[in-house]
Amino acid sequence: MVNVDKLEFGIETFGDIVANEDGSLQSAAESIRQIIHEGEIADKYGIDVIGVGEHHRPDYSVSSPETVLAAIASVTKNIKLATAVTVLSSDDPVRVYERFATLDGLSNGRAQVMLGRGSFTESFPLFGYELTDYDDLFNEKLGLYDELRKEKAVTWSGKFRASLTDQEVYPKTEHGELETYIGIGGSPESIIRAVRFGYKVIIAIIGGQADRFKPYIELYHEAAKQLNKPEFPIAVHSHGFIADDKDAAIEVAFKNIKENFDRIGLTRGWAPMSREQFDSETKVGSFYVGDPETVAQRMARTINLLDLGRFDLVYGAGNQTAAQRERMIELYATKVIPRVKEILTEKEAAK
Amino acid sequence: MTIKKVGIIGAGKVGIVLADLALRAGYEVRISGSGSVGKIALIIKTLVPGAIASENSDVVANSDIILLAIPLSRYKNIDPALLRGKLVIDAMNYWWETDGIREEVLAPGLTSSEQVQAYFKDSALVKAFNHMGYHNLQEEAQPAGSPKRKALFVTGDDRTAVAEVAHFVDTMGFDQIVHYDLADGIMTEPGSPLFGASLKYDDLKDIIDHFDQTEFGKKIAASEK
Ligand SMILES: NC(=O)c1ccc[n+]([C@@H]2O[C@H](COP(=O)([O-])OP(=O)(O)OC[C@H]3O[C@@H](n4cnc5c(N)ncnc54)[C@H](OP(=O)(O)O)[C@@H]3O)[C@@H](O)[C@H]2O)c1
Angle, alpha carbons A194-A113-A260 (nearest 5°): 90
Peptide bond into A85 cis (omega under 30): yes
A274 interaction partners in chain B (CB closer than 8 Å): 197
pLDDT of B213 > 70? The answer is yes
Q: Among partner residues A188, A270, A272, which is closest to B43 by beta-carbon distance?
A: A188
Angle between helices A214-226 and B37-47 (to 10 degrees): 130
> Any CB–CB contact under 8 A between B80 and chain A?
no
End-to-end CA distance of chain A: 10
Using alpha carbons, select from B76, B58, B47, B41 the residue that is nearest to residue B7: B58
Residue A2 backbone phi and psi in degrees, to 5: -70, 130
Interface test with A, best of B21, B23, B40, B42 (most A CBs within 10 A): B42
Chain A CB within 8 Å of residue B70 CB: no
Range of the domain at B144: 5-224
Average pLDDT over residues B78-91: 98
The shortest C-alpha distance from A98 to chain B (Å) reads 28
Q: Which of A112-116, A323-327, B106-110 has the lowest mean pLDDT?
A: B106-110
Cβ atoms of A36 and A338 closer than 8 Å: no
Do B197 and A271 count as a contact with CB atoms less than 8 A apart? yes
A208–B97 C-beta distance less than 8 A: no
Q: What is the pLDDT of residue B149?
A: 98
Note whether A84 and A15 are within 8 A (CB): no
Percent above pLDDT 70 for chain B: 100
Q: Whose CA is nearest to atom 19 of ligand 1?
A: B12
Smallest Cα distance from B2 to chain A, Å: 31
C-alpha dist (Å) from residue B22 to A321, B4, B102: 47, 10, 31
- What residue ranges in chain A does DSSP mark as E strands? 8-13, 49-52, 80-83, 86-87, 111-116, 154-156, 164-167, 179-184, 200-204, 234-242, 287-290, 308-314
What percent of the residues of chain A are helix, what percent strand, and what percent coil, each to the nearest 5? 50, 20, 35
pLDDT at residue B217, rounded to an integer: 94
* Nearest CB to B139 within list A187, A189, A212: A212
For residue A267, the one-letter residue type is T
Position B139: which residue type?
A: E
Q: What is the structure's pLDDT at A245? A: 98
Give the model confidence (pLDDT) of A234-282 as tens digits: 999 999 999 999 999 999 999 999 999 999 888 888 889 999 999 999 9
Of A130, A186, A271, the CB nearest to B195: A271
The residue whose CA has the least distance to atom 6 of ligand 1 is B130
Per-residue pLDDT tens digits for A272-309? 999 999 999 999 999 999 999 999 999 999 999 999 99
Q: What is the pLDDT of residue A266?
A: 85
- Cα separation, A267 vs B195, in Å, equals 13
Q: List residues near ligand 1 (CB under 6 A).
A: A 187, 189; B 9-15, 32-35, 56, 69-72, 74, 77-78, 91-93, 95, 130, 133-134
Complex-level ipTM beyond the 0.85 threshold? yes
**Residue B190: its chain A contacts at CB < 8 A?**
268-270
Nearest to residue B97, comparing CAs of B105, B88, B86? B105
Q: What are the angstrom distances between the C-alpha of A79 and each of A55, A74, A236? A: 22, 11, 18
Cβ distance B49 to B27 under 8 Å?
Answer: no
B193·A189 Cβ contact <8 A: no
Contact (CB, 8 A) for B84 and B29: no
Phi-psi region of A118 (alpha: psi -120 to 50; beta: other; left: phi over 0): left
Residue-level pLDDT at A218: 95
For residues A184-192, average pLDDT:
91
Band (A351; pLDDT cuts 50, 70, 90): confident
Residue B40 CA to ligand 1 centre (angstroms) = 13
Q: What is the pLDDT of residue A112?
A: 98
Q: With a cut of 80, say whether residue A350 has pLDDT above it.
A: yes
Cβ neighbours of A123 in B, within 8 Å = none
What pLDDT shows up at residue B170? Answer: 98
Task: Provide the whole-model pTM.
Answer: 0.94
Total of domains in chain B: 1
Residues of chain A in contact with residue B101, where contact means CB-CB under 8 angstroms, are 131
What residues does each domain of chain A span?
4-350
Round to whole Å and give the CA distance between A282 and A286. Answer: 7
Ligand 1 atom with minimal separation from the B135 CA: 3
Chain A residue numbers with beta carbons less than 8 Å from the beta carbon of B98 are 131, 134
- Whether the CB of B42 is below 8 Å from some CB of chain A: the reply is yes
**B16-46 confidence digits (pLDDT tens):** 999 999 999 999 999 999 999 999 999 999 9
Q: For a substitution probing ligand 1, which of B8, B14, B131 has the most ligand atoms within 8 Å of its CB?
A: B14
Cβ of A269 within 8 Å of Cβ of B97? The answer is no
Q: What average pLDDT does this structure show over A118-127? A: 88
Please say if the pLDDT value at position A193 is more than 90.
yes
In the predicted model, is pLDDT for residue A132 greater than 90? no
pLDDT at residue A77 above 70? yes
Residue B225 has pLDDT above 70, yes or no: no
Those residues with Cβ within 8 angstroms of residue A58's Cβ, 6 or more apart along the chain or in another chain: none
Determine the distance from the C-alpha atom of residue A61 to the mean position of all C-alpha atoms in its chain, rounded to a whole number.
16
Q: Label residue A48 by pLDDT band (50, 70, 90).
A: very high
Closest residue by Cα to residue B193 from A262, A16, A79, A167 = A262
DSSP-assigned states of every residue in A206-253 = -SS-GGGGHHHHHHHHHHHHHTT-----EEEEEEEEE-SSHHHHHHHH
Predicted pLDDT of residue A118: 79
Query: Is B95 buried (19+), middle (13-18) or exposed (0-12) by CB count in 10 A?
Result: middle
Nearest Cα to Cα of residue A337 among A308, A283, A300: A300
- Higher model confidence: residue A153 or residue A263? A153
Mean pLDDT for the stretch of residues A63-88: 97
Contact B190 A212 (CB under 8 A): no
Question: b/e for A228-241, b at 16 or more Cβ within 10 A?
Answer: ebeebbbbbbbbbb
**Using an 8 Å Cβ cutoff, are A341 and A284 in contact?**
no
Structural domain A4-350, CATH architecture = Alpha-Beta Barrel (3.20)
Judged against a pLDDT cut of 90, whether residue A166 lies above it is answered with yes
Domain harbouring B44, CATH code: 3.40.50.720
pLDDT score, position A117: 87
**Is B171 within 8 Å of chain A by CB?**
no
Is the separation of the CB atoms in B98 and A134 below 8 Å?
Answer: yes
pLDDT digits (tens, 9 = 90+) for B91-105: 999 987 788 778 888
